């Protein structure tokens, strides 16, 4: 009976210390004038890194062997990263494979059946980001061409 009482007291003390540390840390965080600024900067940097587009260089699309090698490498790397728990980078590699794929619709159907729903949704979001960036780049190129003509 005495051992269980001692364990209960030790657990209570440990819980109280943990709660005290949480309150101290929260107080320190709220009083830090640079905390929100640093948090905004980190979020902005993360968003900029995510919207930077594919970090892998796309091979010359005229060289079919190089494209096929790149495609298989990106699929394999993406699957390995996702199975290791690195979802973000794995999705990026799968998106690179879809970009160079000759039949992206069929590949997306296969990936939809094999990937978890959350990972597939992230992949679709990433593909939309790449599509938006491509259309923005096309618009800016057209604007530059129009400026050159005028």
* 85 and 117 inside one domain: yes
* 26 and 44 inside one domain: yes
* 73 and 32 inside one domain: no
pLDDT digits (tens, 9 = 90+) for 28-87: 888 888 877 887 888 888 777 666 555 667 778 788 888 899 999 999 999 999 888 888
Residue 26 has pLDDT above 70, yes or no: yes
Give the pLDDT confidence score for residue 1 in this predicted structure. 66
For the entire predicted model, the pTM comes to: 0.54
Is position 53 within any domain? no
Angle between helices 87-100 and 64-84 (to 10 degrees): 160
Work out the end-to-end distance of the chain between its first and last CA atoms, rounded to an integer number of angstroms: 92
Is position 104 within any domain? yes
Residue 146 has pLDDT above 50, yes or no: no
Torsion angle of the four alpha carbons 121, 72, 74, 131, in this order, in degrees rounded to the nearest 10: -60
> Which helix (H) or strand (E) segment is 42 a member of?
helix 35-50
Owning domain of residue 109: 58-149
- Averaged pLDDT for residues 91-111: 88
Going through 19-99 in order, the beta strands assigned E by DSSP cover none
Is position 131 within any domain? yes
Is position 119 within any domain? yes
91-to-79, 128, 133 alpha-carbon distances in Å: 9, 13, 17
Find out whether 59 and 66 touch, Cβ atoms under 8 Å: yes
pLDDT digits (tens, 9 = 90+) for 87-98: 888 999 999 889
Specify the higher pLDDT residue, 145 or 44: 44
How many distinct structural domains can be found in the chain?
2
Report the share of the chain in percent with pLDDT over 90: 20
* 41 and 63 inside one domain: no
Residue 150 has pLDDT above 50, yes or no: no
Is position 41 within any domain? yes
Residue 20 has pLDDT above 60, yes or no: yes
């Amino acid at each position: 009976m005495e051992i269980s009482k001692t364990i209960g007291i030790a657990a209570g003390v440990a819980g109280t210390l943990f709660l005290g540390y949480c309150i101290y840390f929260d107080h320190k965080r709220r009083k830090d004038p640079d905390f929100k600024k640093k948090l905004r900067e980190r979020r902005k940097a993360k968003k900029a890194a995510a919207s930077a587009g594919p970090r892998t260089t796309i091979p010359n699309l005229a060289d079919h062997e190089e494209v096929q090698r790149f495609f298989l490498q990106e699929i394999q790397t993406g699957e390995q990263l996702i199975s290791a728990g690195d979802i973000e980078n794995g999705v990026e590699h799968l998106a690179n494979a879809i970009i160079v794929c000759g039949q992206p619709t069929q590949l997306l159907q296969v990936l939809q059946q094999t990937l978890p729903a959350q990972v597939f949704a992230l992949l679709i979001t990433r593909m939309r980001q790449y599509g938006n960036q491509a259309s923005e780049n096309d618009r800016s190129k057209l604007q530059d061409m129009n400026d050159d003509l005028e």
